[in-house]
Amino acid sequence: MKIWRYMDLAKFTHMLATQSLYFACTTQMTDPYEGWLPRSHIAAMDGINASYINQLRNTCDTILAQPNFRGDPATLDAIVEDARQKLDFTKVNQEVNRKFGLNCWHINESESEAMWRLYATTGSGIAIESTKDRLRGLLTADGIIVDRVRYMDFEKDEIEKGHRHYGLFIKRNSFAHEQELRATILLPTPGIGTSVPCDMNALIVNIHIAPQAPLFYTDTVKYIVDRAGLGITAPVIRSTLLDDPSI
């Protein structure tokens, strides 16, 4: 399976300079629903949590009704309120999302004109071509998961039971054009992205230059690859996607 990572020249240079892949915190993504769940799942979780709070409240009321109870009723109220705060789904979900980082790729057997437009808006940019097996084989740090993103209707779709990976590997149908493969990691510091070492020579199959990039751009990228001194053998290829078909 071919995968592509589209980026600007600065990010490409940083990737080579650090010999690593950057995992951005989930909260840094542009999609406000990143790390969120369909409404059916949220409703189910809210129902379970509400039932637990009610049971806890009933237990506290039973204790208060005991004739030999000599404690402070406010203490029991505080226990219920603390449980309510800790089971607040929105708050918990936001806190969990800060703990994870993402490294995202586009799945496609050929380059994508749409992805060039999204990630090379100035007419220049880089696309790293690799494969799912290479990425998975090179990201060997503990806790890293590599899987495809599944696209759902967050308003109507039911919970997908029994799926191995869920929360961080679903997005709304509106983002289906991304055809995303992603790697996730537990961040060393919540809220702050991290870089994970990766053998660039083993990862990169081809380095593609944006179709509208000026001619000198290819030479610039070749120079950067050579100066990195990583022994990268992958060819630097200028895209012909938008070339005049009559030439």
Q: Once rounded to an integer, what is the mean pLDDT over residues 13-27?
A: 95
Say which amino acid occupies 181: L
Which of 11-15, 52-56, 157-161, 218-222 is the least confident region? 157-161
Q: Above 70 in pLDDT, residue 245?
A: yes
- Say if residue 29 is exposed, middle or buried (CB neighbours under 10 Å; 0-12, 13-18, 19+): middle
Buried b / exposed e over 174-202, threshold 16 CB at 10 Å, is eeeebbbbbbbbebeeeeebbebebebee
The residue with greater pLDDT, 188 or 122, is 188
Q: Once rounded to an integer, what is the mean pLDDT over residues 155-165?
A: 74
Q: Above 90 in pLDDT, residue 12?
A: yes
| pLDDT tens per residue across span 90-126 | 888 888 899 999 999 999 999 999 999 888 777 789 9
Cα–Cα distance measured from residue 207 to residue 81, given in angstroms and rounded to the nearest whole number: 55
Residues 6+ apart with CB under 8 A from 17: 228
3-state SS class at 152: strand
Backbone angles phi, psi at 18, to 5 degrees: -95, -10
Q: Calculate the alpha carbon distances from 125 to 11, 58, 122, 200 in Å.
A: 10, 61, 8, 18
Count of residues for the chain?
Answer: 247
The residue with greater pLDDT, 173 or 46, is 173
Q: Once rounded to an integer, what is the mean pLDDT over residues 202-215?
A: 94
Residues 6+ apart with CB under 8 A from 178: 104, 106, 149, 171
Q: Once rounded to an integer, what is the mean pLDDT over residues 164-181?
A: 88
| pLDDT tens per residue across span 63-88 | 888 888 777 888 888 888 888 888 88
Bridge partners, residue 183, by sequence: 103, 146
Predicted pLDDT at 108: 97
Average per-residue pLDDT in the chain? 90
pTM of the model: 0.86
Predicted pLDDT at 69: 79
Say which amino acid occupies 15: M
Q: E-strand spans in 110-179?
A: 126-131, 145-148, 150-152, 170-172
Predicted pLDDT at 159: 72
Predicted pLDDT at 220: 94
Predicted pLDDT at 14: 95
Q: Above 70 in pLDDT, residue 163?
A: no
Q: Cβ atoms within 10 A of the Cβ of 203, count?
A: 21
| pLDDT tens per residue across span 141-150 | 888 999 999 9
Predicted pLDDT at 71: 78
User: What are the residue ranges spanned by the domains of the chain?
Assistant: 2-34+100-238, 39-95
Cα–Cα distance measured from residue 89 to residue 93, given in angstroms and rounded to the nearest whole number: 6
The distance from CA 66 to its chain's CA centroid, rounded to whole angstroms, is 52
The residue with greater pLDDT, 23 or 86, is 23
